[in-house]
C-alpha cells in the first residue's frame, strides 16, 4: 500500500539520525518496526531514541488503540509540548472494504488542523514523518491543567462562576469559528477541551472531524 504524506510534513530518515539497524544487518529497520510498535525511551546510551529533531521525549501520558501521547520538550526553547504518535504500521493496515483506511482519517486530521488558526482551537506546531521509528508524529502545545473533565474532577475548591463563564464563551467562539469554516468536530466533549489556565480553554482532537 502506497503511503504518501502532504508536503508540509518534515521527513526524518536514517541519514539525519543514527540508524539502529547496524545491530541487525540481515533485517531492515522497516521490517523490525512492522513486528512491534516503537516506544520512545531513554534506556539506550549509544542512540538517543528519545529525541526527534529538536524534540525530547520525556514521558508517556496516554496510550490509545491508534496513537500514543507523550510529554515532550523543545530543546531550543525548553518549552513543553505534546506529541501525538501514530505507528505507521498500524494506520496503514487494511480495513474492511466498507471502511476507509485509517491513514485517511489521520491525513484528514492533519489537513484540518493545519488550516485552522484561532486562539481557542489547538494549533498544530509541527508534523514529522520519522522513518527511523516508522512513526508519524504531531506536535501540539502542552496544556498544564489537562482536559476540562479532569480539571473539574480534580479541582479541590469550588470553581468560580467567572471561570465557567469564560470557558463557555471561549468554546462558543471556537465552535463558531469551526462552523463558519465548514468544519464539524463530531466529538465535542469535556475530554477534548484543554485547559491552559482558568482563563484559557481550547478545543482539541480533530481525529474524527470533517469538513462540509
Is-contact 102 51, C-beta < 8 A? no
Distance CA 187, CA 154 (A): 23
Residues paired with residue 194 on neighbouring β-strands, in sequence order: 147, 202
Q: Checking phi first, is residue 208 left (phi over 0); if not, alpha (psi -120 to 50) or beta?
A: alpha
Length of the chain: 212
Residue written as cell 508534523? 127
Q: How far are the Cα atoms of 29, 181, 196, 200 from residue 80, in angstroms, in the given order?
A: 29, 30, 12, 17
In the sheet that holds 67-74, the strands lie side by side as 10-12, 126-130, 135-141, 79-87, 67-74, 55-63, 51-52
* Annotated active-site residue in 11, 23, 187, 205: 187
Other C-beta atoms lying within 10 Å of the C-beta of residue 152: 13
Is-contact 6 107, C-beta < 8 A? yes
Q: Which three cell numbers stand for residue 113?
A: 488542523
Does the annotation count 187 as an active-site position? yes
Q: How far are the Cα atoms of 147, 160, 189 from residue 71, in angstroms, in the given order?
A: 14, 29, 22
**Which residues are catalytic, by number?**
187
Amino acid at each position: 500500500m502506497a503511503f504518501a504524506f502532504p508536503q508540509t510534513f518534515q521527513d526524518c530518515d536514517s541519514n539525519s539520525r543514527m540508524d539502529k539497524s547496524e545491530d541487525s544487518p540481515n533485517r531492515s529497520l522497516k521490517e523490525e518496526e512492522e513486528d512491534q510498535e516503537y516506544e520512545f525511551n531513554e534506556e539506550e546510551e549509544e542512540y538517543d531514541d528519545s529525541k526527534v529533531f529538536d524534540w525530547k521525549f520525556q514521558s508517556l501520558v496516554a496510550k490509545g488503540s491508534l496513537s500514543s501521547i507523550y510529554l515532550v520538550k523543545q530543546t531550543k526553547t525548553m518549552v513543553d509540548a505534546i506529541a501525538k504518535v501514530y505507528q505507521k504500521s498500524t494506520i496503514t493496515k487494511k480495513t474492511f472494504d466498507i471502511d476507509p483506511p485509517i491513514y485517511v482519517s489521520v491525513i484528514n486530521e492533519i489537513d484540518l488542523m493545519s488550516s485552522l488558526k484561532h486562539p481557542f482551537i489547538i494549533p498544530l506546531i509541527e508534523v514529522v514523518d520519522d522513518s527511523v521509528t516508522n512513526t508519524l508524529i504531531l506536535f501540539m502545545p502542552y496544556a498544564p491543567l489537562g482536559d476540562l473533565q479532569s480539571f473539574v474532577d480534580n479541582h479541590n475548591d469550588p470553581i468560580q462562576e467567572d471561570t465557567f463563564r469564560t470557558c463557555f464563551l471561549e468554546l462558543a467562539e471556537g465552535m463558531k469559528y469551526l462552523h463558519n469554516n465548514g468544519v464539524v468536530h463530531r466529538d465535542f466533549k469535556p475530554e477534548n477541551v484543554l485547559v491552559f489556565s482558568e482563563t484559557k480553554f481550547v478545543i482539541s482532537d480533530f481525529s474524527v472531524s470533517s469538513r462540509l
